[in-house]
Structure 1
Amino acid sequence: MLTLPQIDRVVAAALEEDAPWGDLTSATLIPATATATAELSAREDGVFSGGDVFAAAFRLTDPSIEVTLLVDDGERFSRGDTLARVTGPARGILQAERIGLNFTQRMSGIATLTSRYVDAVAGTGVRVVDTRKTTPGLRAFERHAVRSGGGFNHRFSLSDAVMAKDNHLAVLTAGGLSLTEALVGVRARLSHTTHLEVEVDRLDQIDEVLAAGVDTIMLDNFSLEDLRSGVERIAGRAIVEASGNVTLDSVGAIAATGVDVISSGALTHSVPSLDLGLDVSVSANREP
């Protein structure tokens, strides 16, 4: 869940980066008494995300600025729709404009792409989830955007669950233990509340991993045929996650193999920002 302290911390840093000593242009050109009205408008269809983040950019710049959100996070909109309205001192609105836009454009881009993946697997019961391939410092924002698009989140950080990948397994078994023995030892050291996921890249690894009683098995870069075989072999004894080379074109076929979860880094690491605009109308009320 995206919290107000998280929002304020990141947005304040962005505002500081963008105007460390104030907005020289607005301070020079815009009268201090000027007021403005601005409308956030959609220049293409999409799914909205980042409303509270957008509003925070203006609130933290000047608390007297009022932001009215006209759509909720997760709501679909069409080109030409007005998504939010901003009113207040013109200098503050112009100073916060780019930061507010940057965040909501990126978050809405992620939400929109995620919604397309979710639509592609509709009716299968499969969850589309993100990965840790997020922009450093912006993970909470980007993962909120995935949820806005109807997707789900994987572990939030390295601290949240045990997820053994190929390199971990190579080290774990280097002392001569079998894969099953090594994973049983791992399970014995974990709290009963800690989730254990193991990545495999070959069908012949599945039985050894299953014998250790893991919670989730990730089938990494499997062909569609091998995904079906893996699902049959696991037979409901663990959650089955498919990962690797997941695209909008392939996600539907992957879902049809019977997996439970499909994870894709593409939801966050290579998403174009959505085209949104902020149209500002300034009333130049000059001081007497």
Structure 2
Amino acid sequence: MNPYTLPDTELERLLHEDTPQGDATTFALGIGARPARMVFRARDPMTVCGSEEAAAMGRLRGLRVDLHAPSGTRAAPREPLVSFTGPAAGIHAVWKSAQTLMEYLSGIATGAAELVAAARAGHPDCAVVCTRKSFPGTKAASVKAVLAGGAGAHRLSLSETLLVFEEHRRLVDAAPADCVARLRRRWPERPVVVEVADHAEALRWIAAGADVIQLEKWSVAAVAGLRAALREHPHPPRLAAAGGIHAGNAADYARAGADLLVTSAPYFAPPRDVAVSITRDSGADP
């Protein structure tokens, strides 16, 4: 279920950000060495993400950790996610950084899972892929959350895919077929994706041999019309609906004939609440 775990160097940075000169309160109270127990639980239903990072943070501060819900798990309210035992100094040093990271990533993962479920209700083979429009500096964590929610990555960077926008075409003095041929000569193993604004433009690039036609801000009816026009096509391209795609309309676009739903919506999903309890360590189960 877990796509990958963020490196310790990144987790150390997050921990240090919250305790640059230590934990003043725990130090002043003189409780840093006391044995403590901390349990993270789901407050509401969620698709979990970031539990491996929370666990790793605990280990970096010398805590014993039990990971109950790996990323990608669908957790019910009150279900334990991660538990930590060890000195109170380590517990308090890890608490907010680990909790907050899990809340944000679980929000993205839950939003992605809801969108995937909606798309598959419209058509079981429709895929959901997320753009690279995550908050700058959070790409690795955000992509992990998207994958944990069952979606895929549309493009991780400009280096990864061939996606021709209108903004490219304004600077190219070549016919569509020549553009596609040039792209294939330079990057023969990569599909050619072209974003189009209307039906006529889509047909021009389909005739030119594009592998994927991205339909930017098309209505459901317009997507259905293009799919109908391709019914007799011997090698139809894949159709990717993009722009304004969310859980409320995903099923409609999937039913209309979109093979892919391209979206940024999960990145803006609200965080999922992770409840935290900290007690003296009694050795009890969560």
Shift of 1:194: 2.1
Which amino acid letter does the alignment assign opposite residue 241 of structure 1?
A
Equivalent pairs: percent with the same residue? 27
Aligned position for 1:286 = none
Comparing 8-17 and 254-263, the one that deviates more:
8-17
Alignment of 1:187-202 (within 5 A): 187-190=184-187, 192-202=188-198
Which amino acid letter does the alignment assign opposite residue 168 of structure 2?
H
Shift of 1:2: 4.8
Alignment of 1:178-193 (within 5 A): 178-190=175-187, 192-193=188-189
Scaled by the length of structure 1, the TM-score of the pair is 0.89
1:210 and 2:209 equivalent? no
Shift of 1:183: 3.0
Is contact 1:7-1:56 (8 Å) kept?
no
Report the CA distance shift for 1:253/1:3 in structure 2 as closer, same or farther (over 3 A). Answer: closer
Aligned position for 1:274 = 272
Structure 1 gap ranges (5+):
284-288
Comparing 236-245 and 102-111, the one that deviates more:
236-245
Report the CA distance shift for 1:265/1:166 in structure 2 as closer, same or farther (over 3 A). Answer: same
Aligned position for 2:99 = 101
Question: What secondary structure, in the 3-state scheme, does the structure 1 residue paired with 2:151 have?
Answer: coil
Aligned position for 2:65 = 67
Shift of 1:33: 2.0
Scaled by the length of structure 2, the TM-score of the pair is 0.90
Aligned position for 1:259 = 258
Is contact 1:247-1:266 (8 Å) kept?
yes
Which amino acid letter does the alignment assign opposite residue 85 of structure 2?
T
1:56-82 CA-partner distances (Å, limit 9, x unpaired):
22222x1x2011111222111111212
Report the CA distance shift for 1:126/1:89 in structure 2 as closer, same or farther (over 3 A). Answer: same
Shift of 1:10: 2.3
What CA distance in whole angstroms lies between the structure 1 residues aligned with 2:194 and 2:184?
Answer: 11
Is contact 1:48-1:73 (8 Å) kept?
yes
Aligned position for 2:36 = 36
Aligned position for 2:164 = 164
Which amino acid letter does the alignment assign opposite residue 73 of structure 1?
S
Report the CA distance shift for 1:94/1:232 in structure 2 as closer, same or farther (over 3 A). Answer: same
Aligned position for 2:247 = 248
Aligned length: 276
Report the CA distance shift for 1:19/1:29 in structure 2 as closer, same or farther (over 3 A). Answer: same
Question: What secondary structure, in the 3-state scheme, does the structure 2 residue paired with 1:254 have?
Answer: helix
Is contact 2:52-2:70 (8 Å) kept?
no
